[in-house]
Structure 1
Amino acid sequence: MRPFAIVAIVGFPLYFFIWHQLFPQPYENLPLRLVGSALFIPILFSERWPARAKKFLPYYWYATIFYSLPFFFTFMLLKNNGSNVWIESALIAAFVMVLLLDWFMLLLNFVIGIGVAFLAYWLTTDPVVLHAAYSAHLAIFSFAVAIGVVANYDMDRIRIEQERAMLATAGSIAHELRTPLLAIRSGASGLGRYLPSLLETYSIAQQGELPVPKIRLVHLQSMDGVLSRIEQEAIHSNAIIDMLLANARFTGGYSHGAATCSIAQSVKSALERYPFRDGERERVLTDLATDFTFHGSEMLMVHVLFNLLKNALRGIASVDSALISIRLVSGPRTSQLLFRDTGPGIAPDVLPHIFTRFYTSSAGIDDASIGTGIGLAFCRDVMRAVGGAIDCRSVEGMFTEFALTFPRP
């Protein structure tokens, strides 16, 4: 959005000078162009919009495109009596619409935009002159837009099917892995219960000089630790599978309805349930004094925190002094959960894409470089479902901070 906004903000007044001074046209309108530029300014700073306003950003985007492309270019084409310059400009506008809009919004903008432009022309022009060539131009524009609608519809359908296939595959793999992991965990747990008796029996047999194979003392001492690690890794893997399944199944709504939840309790539940490896829990610091509530699902929020913990712990594993901090901040209009780690950070070229579903990068050790690419997209969808937002800022080599913004109940 931002690159196009910059082009529009500069282009509208610039082309007034071109068509008014350098290559004069029959009609020009600076106020209309300034309105077009002004509409794009909020889009340029959309990252600074309040959390409550961000959910309206797509609607504002569509309204701005409606004014600046189909309405403006059709109106100017009519006011300039169908000049060649404006026929070519309108064709370019139709091409840009095909690139920017999905098939439904493309069709809607085209039909309503041209209709409103004709109405504005009829209300502001006397006498109204409609050349016979306009019908031919409309047929050409309609054909171009129709091709764009069909192409965009096919692309949307292919993308949806790809997402469904990848999510179904992820869910299938997770289910297939769960059974052997549970078997490994049960086997390790059972063996751990009987291992002390077996070792004691082995020791008695050795003392009685019975013919039993000799096992080195270091191996005997390591058996108990190995079984504990196997069981812990099985628990950890099962938790990751649960997280993957939750990520794959979430569709942006709540299957059992939303409720008023405590964010501090959600954090505590996540930290109690997350399968930390040895030494990991001590690296997570919390400041939950400023508790606040949100309207949503505690279970989904726990899985959001699971995703953030998984990524952060993987990132700080190579930095001995790195820590994770979870801090709550309550404000008059919005409240925030700030999740920060002092690990290696995220590369600047990767950072804008980390919330894109299935996005992966070959560099770094963040969620965009290892895994399915759905974890942070899941976090974004959950935060949108509660009426909030999730943003990330990172300085490579210093820190990564996720800000989860919640509206006040």
Structure 2
Amino acid sequence: MTTFAIVEIIGQPLYYYIWQNVYPQPFESVWLRSICVLFSIPMLFERQLSRHRNMEQWLAIYWLFILLFQLPFFFVLMTLLNHLSSVWALSTMAALMLLVILVFDWLMTLILSISGALLAWAVFVALGGGFEVQGDIPLPVLVSIYLFGLVAGSAFNYKSELVAQEKLAAITDAVGTMAHELRTPLLGIRSGARGLNTYLPILIEGYELARQHSLPVRPIRQAHFQQIQSVLNRIHTESEYTSAVLDMLLVNSSRAAIDRSTFESVSIADCVTTALDRYPFHSARERDWIERAGGPDFLFHGSKLLMVHVLFNLLKNALYHLASNNGGRIVIWTSRSASGIHQLHFQDTGPGIRPEALPRIFERFYSGMPRGQGTGIGLAFVRLVIDSFGGYIRCDSVLGEYTEFIMSFPEIADDGYD
């Protein structure tokens, strides 16, 4: 959007000068071109506008309006007002091809093109509707050429879209199958770890009794006893985390909606505490990177388990990037807006996210990590969960400075934490 806006803001006055002075055309309108420039200016701030709640939907609608007005409507109207001159006939063809490239969806391309052309014809008729053809190509021939270009371009786009959908379907099927196959051995590992956790103290007690009675048993150092217990705890923690990852894979691969029937009022502070207590940090140094900056506790309507998994995902991503950046800080805090919207902030001082990658981070199977180090399901799952809570998540990032996720939750009745 931003690139298109820059092209429009520069191109409109430039071509006004060219068609007015260098290669004069029968008709030019500084007012119509000025309107195109004014409509393009908000698109320069697309990134900032998309940070606000519910703005993405309005930006998408505005983007379609911009495309309709500045490509088919503007160019068809100028072609008619310039008596089908060759310059404007070719310009309109170029504009329609650009529309095919930008929209990619074949049906939307046809709708925008036909709607813009009909609207331009209606305005032309309202302005008088008379002209003498100055180009070499009659209007019916031009229309047939334009339709051929649109249909052919849309057909190629439709084929590309089908191929992309088939690839995604194959990936999701493979991921779903893999997740199902891994759940059975994982359940066995978790069950075995629980069994060892239950009977290990009995074995240790028997060993100690044998040592006390001078029975012939091999000595085991006390430090090794502690390591055995910590390893069991780690197996249990890692298996739970892996189980959560598999659940995310299954949800994303099946595109299933999250079951809201078990949702209840949950404390955000309790979720943060549980996530920090249960997350399998690789070292005490990693744990020291995290700071809870406070803020008011609040209730939201959702699931504690899902919210903890959301925080697990954010922690995993942040810790990975901090480790690659030789450390940093992760700050977690809450706030409340004047309109009663509760927010949870999760900020890290890692390397940040590239501006061109920022709009895609919540897409399924998109990963900004090196190949093999990211699944592309974590943030998609995060967004799915927050949406199921009736909330909204956005990401702010400055390359080389920080990345911040802001999760907004609607106010619920009887919030006793304010």
Query: TM-score, normalized by length of structure 2?
Result: 0.82
- 1-side partners of 2:287 and 2:159: how far apart? 48
Contact 2:353 2:398 in 1 (8 A): yes
Structure 1 letter corresponding to 2:48: R
Contact 2:268 2:298 in 1 (8 A): no
Structure 2 letter corresponding to 1:377: A
Alpha-carbon distance change, 258 to 207 in structure 1, aligned in 2, over 3 angstroms: closer
Q: Does 1:242 align with 2:244?
A: no
Aligned equivalent of 2:316: 310
TM-fit CA distance, 1:267: 5.2
Equivalences, count: 400
Q: Does 1:45 align with 2:45?
A: yes
The residue correspondences of 1:7-406 to structure 2 (distance < 5 A) are 7-49=7-49, 50-101=52-103, 102-125=105-128, 127-128=130-131, 133-205=138-210, 212=217, 219-250=224-255, 256=260, 265-266=267-268, 268-269=270-271, 271-272=273-274, 275-277=278-280, 279=284, 283=290, 285=292, 287-289=294-296, 291=298, 303-316=309-322, 322-332=329-339, 335-346=342-353, 350-351=357-358, 353-361=360-368, 363=370, 370-380=373-383, 386=390, 388-396=392-400, 398-405=401-408
Structure 1 letter corresponding to 2:35: V
- 1-side partners of 2:258 and 2:206: how far apart? 55
TM-fit CA distance, 1:245: 3.0
Alpha-carbon distance change, 344 to 124 in structure 1, aligned in 2, over 3 angstroms: closer
Alpha-carbon distance change, 96 to 320 in structure 1, aligned in 2, over 3 angstroms: closer
Instruction: List per-residue Cα deviations over 1:1-54 (Å, max 9, x = no partner).
Output: 111111012211221111011111011111111111111111111223242333
Instruction: List per-residue Cα deviations over 1:157-196 (Å, max 9, x = no partner).
Output: 2222322332232222222222211211211221222223
- 2-side partners of 1:207 and 1:334: how far apart? 64
Contact 1:246 1:303 in 2 (8 A): no
Alpha-carbon distance change, 145 to 310 in structure 1, aligned in 2, over 3 angstroms: same
Contact 2:394 2:407 in 1 (8 A): yes
What secondary structure does 1:355 align onto? coil
Instruction: List per-residue Cα deviations over 1:302-356 (Å, max 9, x = no partner).
Output: 5443422332233345656633323223233755322112345445665454334
TM-fit CA distance, 1:140: 0.8
Structure 1 letter corresponding to 2:346: F
- 2-side partners of 1:112 and 1:255: how far apart? 41
Structure 2 letter corresponding to 1:20: Q
Alpha-carbon distance change, 218 to 377 in structure 1, aligned in 2, over 3 angstroms: closer
Gaps of 5+ in 2: 413-418
Alpha-carbon distance change, 12 to 335 in structure 1, aligned in 2, over 3 angstroms: farther
What secondary structure does 1:359 align onto? coil
Contact 1:342 1:399 in 2 (8 A): yes
Contact 1:51 1:407 in 2 (8 A): no
TM-fit CA distance, 1:60: 0.9
What secondary structure does 1:56 align onto? helix
- 2-side partners of 1:59 and 1:98: how far apart? 17
What secondary structure does 2:54 align onto? helix
Instruction: List per-residue Cα deviations over 1:69-99 (Å, max 9, x = no partner).
Output: 1111111111111111011101100110110
What secondary structure does 1:10 align onto? helix
Alpha-carbon distance change, 135 to 338 in structure 1, aligned in 2, over 3 angstroms: same
- Give the fraction of aligned pairs with identical amino acids, expressed as a percent: 38
Instruction: List per-residue Cα deviations over 1:234-267 (Å, max 9, x = no partner).
Output: 222222322333444456x6654898x76x7245
Contact 2:79 2:88 in 1 (8 A): yes
Alpha-carbon distance change, 160 to 120 in structure 1, aligned in 2, over 3 angstroms: same
Contact 1:337 1:404 in 2 (8 A): yes
- 1-side partners of 2:228 and 2:86: how far apart? 84
- 2-side partners of 1:230 and 1:373: how far apart? 25
- 1-side partners of 2:71 and 2:328: how far apart? 53
Alpha-carbon distance change, 393 to 137 in structure 1, aligned in 2, over 3 angstroms: same
- 1-side partners of 2:149 and 2:343: how far apart? 47
